[in-house]
Structure 1
Amino acid sequence: MSLVAHLTELRNRIAKALLALLVATAVSFWWYEHGLGDFIRAPYCGLDAELRFGDDADGCGLLITDVFGGVFIRLKVAFLAGAVLSAPFWLYQIWAFITPGLKRNEKRYGVGFVAVSSLLFALGAFLAYVSLSAGLELLLGLAGSDVIIALTAQDYIGFVLSLLVAFGVSFEVPLFAIALNLVGVLSHEVLAKSRRWIFFLTIVFAAFVTPTQDPFTMLLMAGPMIVLFELAIQVARVVDKRRARRAALEHFHDLGDDDASPLDARPSSLDDAPSPTAR
Structure 2
Amino acid sequence: MTDENSLLFHLIELRSRILKALLSVLVVFLCLAYFAQDLYQVLARPLLDALPDNASMIATDVASPFFAPFKLTLVLSFFIAIPYVLYQVWAFVAPGLYKNEKRLVAPLLISSTLLFYAGMAFAYFVVFPLAFAFFTSVAPAGVTVSTDINSYLDFVLKLFFAFGISFEIPIAIILLCWTGATDAKSLRAKRPYVIVAVFIVGMLLTPPDVISQTLLALPMWLLFEVGVMLGGLYSRRDESSSSLKSHE
Q: Same fold (TM over 0.5)?
A: yes
1:203 corresponding residue in structure 2? 199
> Are the equivalent residues in 2 in contact too, given 1:62–1:150 (CA < 8 A)?
yes
Structure with the higher helix share, 1 or 2: 2
Equivalent position amino acid for 1:144 in 2: P
Higher-Rg member (1/2): 1
Please list every run of 5 or more consecutive structure 1 residues that lacks an aligned counterpart in the other structure: 54-60, 254-279
Distance 2:180 2:212 in 1: 34
The answer to whether the 8 A contact 2:39-2:69 is kept is: no
Deviations 1:11-70 (A, max 9, x none): 11111111111121222322213x3122111112212525x62xxxxxxx3211122223
- SS of the residue corresponding to residue 186 of structure 1 reads coil
The 5 Å alignment of 1:19-34 reads 19-33=23-37
1:8 to 9, 12, 27: 12
**2:171 corresponds to 1:175:** yes
C-alpha displacement of 1:237: 2.1
Instruction: Verify: 1:37 aligned to 2:40, yes or no.
Output: yes
Deviation string, structure 1 residues 135-173 (Cα, Å, up to 9, x no partner): 111012111231111111111121122111111111113
* Contact 2:82–2:113 (8 Å) recurs in 1: no
Question: Does 2:152 align with 1:156?
Answer: yes
**Which of 92, 99, 106 is the aligned partner of 2:94?**
99
Change in CA separation of 1:250 and 1:173 when aligned onto 2, cut-off 3 Å: same
1:142 pairs with 2:138: yes
Q: Take 2:216 and 2:24, find their aligned partners in 1: how far apart are those partners?
A: 32
Q: In structure 2, what is the Cα distance between the partners aligned to 1:237 and 1:248? A: 16
Q: Is the 8 A contact 1:174 1:225 kept in 2?
A: no
Larger RCO (CA under 8 A, 6+ residues apart) = 2
The secondary structure found in structure 1 opposite 2:50 is coil
Paired positions, count: 243
1:46 maps to what in 2? 49
Q: Are the structure 2 counterparts of residues 232 and 81 from structure 1 closer, same or farther at C-alpha, using a change threshold of 3 Å?
A: same
Q: Secondary structure at the match of 2:77?
A: helix
How far apart, CA to CA, are the structure 2 residues paired with 1:182 and 1:83?
29
Secondary structure of 1:62's counterpart equals: coil
The superposition leaves residues 95-138 of structure 1 with CA deviations (integer Å, 9 ceiling, x where unpaired) of 11111111111111111111111111111111110121221110
Q: CA RMSD in A?
A: 1.7
- Paired with 2:7 and 2:63, the residues of 1 have a C-alpha distance of 45
The residue number in structure 2 matching 1:194 is: 190
* CA–CA distance in structure 2, aligned partners of residues 108 and 249 of structure 1: 19
> 2:169·2:227 contact (CA, 8 Å) conserved in 1?
no
The answer as to whether partners of 2:29 and 2:77 remain within 8 angstroms in 1 is yes
Asked if structure 2 preserves the Cα contact closer than 8 Å seen for 1:43 and 1:132, the reply is yes
For residue 252 of structure 1, report the CA deviation from its aligned partner. Answer: 4.7
The AA in structure 1 aligned to 2:10 is H
2:51 touches 2:136 (CA, 8 Å); kept in 1? no
SS of equivalent to 2:246: coil
Task: Supply the distance in 2 between the matched residues of 1:226 and 1:197 (Cα, whole angstroms).
Answer: 11
Structure-1-length-normalised TM-score? 0.81
Confirm or deny: 8 A CA contact 1:24 1:85 kept in the other structure: yes
Corresponding residue for residue 72 of structure 2: 77
Amino acid at match of 2:162: A
More deviation in 66-75 or 152-161? 66-75
Q: Distance in 1 between matches of 2:145 and 2:237?
A: 58
Point out where structure 2 has 5 or more consecutive residues left out of the alignment.
none
In structure 2, the partner of 1:232 is: 227
